[in-house]
Amino acid sequence: MNRELGRVLGEVQKVIVGKQDVIEKILMAMLAEGHILLDDVPGVGKTSLALALSRAMGLVCHRVQFTPDVLPSDIVGFSVYDRESGEMVYRPGVICHTNLLLGDEINRTSSKTQSALLEAMEEGQVTVDGCTHPLETPFIVIATQNHVGTAGTQLLPYAQLDRFMVRLQLGYPDYEAQMQLLRDRQTENPVTQVEEVGTDLVRMQSEVREVTVSQAILSYITRLSVASRESARLELGISPRGALFLMRMAKASAYLEGRDFVLPRDVQRLFVDVCAHRVIVARQARASSEADVLREILGATEVPDLRG
């Protein structure tokens, strides 16, 4: 594994024990310049994970607790009249001057407020009263939502779901991880003990873009995407954006392992995490989940042989 990122992983695991695979996938999404949706039950460490990552990587982190009364202007900012200058002056919102925006329980705010994130997540800027304001580089959103206790929640618009590079779940810790968690938190919060590694995320993102993807791998991703669109078990298949995100995540996976080229296993490892929230299961297949259908497609699609 890349040495810098290995140190980041070690620091984050001081807080989130036994979840190396999920942490690695979040790092991949950050390297691939994508946004992350953590979709899980309350209390499994979603917020602690995001805070630990920002501390370890030296990123400026802002946190917003989404509630029904949060307004779009709270997120993107607003203009106010300045009497001295006689002009409208822009007041930045929470999304500005930050590298990592932690949006807690994003599904508890209104659809209007959720949609305020769309331009920022896609284009790295916000537009207020006709004026465009660029965001910091890097800019990453880690949003959390709980899929239980749906009273007072708003489903994320599909257009916004499609902008998240991956949707992940932490899940409950096993026995040993739970015991360590209890021991570590008797006197202090381990998040405060996370040390900054001093990574240059912008440089690493640039290096990830240079990772080689062969024609065979591009064909593999394309065949998986087409198979999802043609599947009778899916009402909506993988979008072109989904295929692009899968390629970028596969490049980040290779980089994390210290390679400058993508292998089929990079695509296979990430296929469900990148694509499950982009597809809709057909009515006649509702007994299966999106992940189940995608795993079937993955198993039925020929894997390229790169030895030739």
Place of tokens 């239980």: 148
Measure the CA–CA gap between 95 and 78, rounded to whole angstroms: 12
Q: Which residues contact 235 (CB under 8 A, 6 or more apart)?
A: 280, 281, 282, 283
Contacts of 166 (CB under 8 A, 6+ apart): 25, 26, 28, 29, 34, 36, 37, 245, 249, 270, 273, 274
Stated pTM of the model = 0.93
Query: How far is residue 236 from each of residues 158, 246, 293, 295, measured CA to CA in Å?
Result: 11, 17, 12, 16
pLDDT at residue 70, as a whole number: 92
Q: Distances from the Cα of 232 to the Cαs of 11, 280, 293, in angstroms?
A: 45, 11, 10
Q: Delineate the domains of the chain, giving CATH numbers in brackets.
A: 3-198 (3.40.50.300), 210-300 (1.10.8.80)
SS3 89: strand
Residue 96 has pLDDT above 70, yes or no: yes
**For residue 141, what pLDDT is reported?**
95
Mean pLDDT of all residues in 126-146? 91
pLDDT tens, position by position, 199-218: 899 999 999 999 999 999 99
pLDDT bracket for residue 149 (50, 70, 90): low
The enclosing H or E element of 21 equals helix 20-31
At residue 307, does pLDDT exceed 80?
no
Helix (H, G, I), strand (E, B) or coil at 12: helix
Token representation of residue 102:
């932690």
Mean pLDDT throughout 173-186?
Answer: 89
Q: How sure is the predictor about 152, in pLDDT bands with cuts at 50, 70 and 90?
A: low
User: In angstroms, what CA-CA distances link 125 with 80, 116, 133, 140, 165?
Assistant: 20, 11, 6, 12, 18
Q: What tokens appear for 124 in the block?
A: 């790295």
Distance CA 183, CA 32 (A): 35
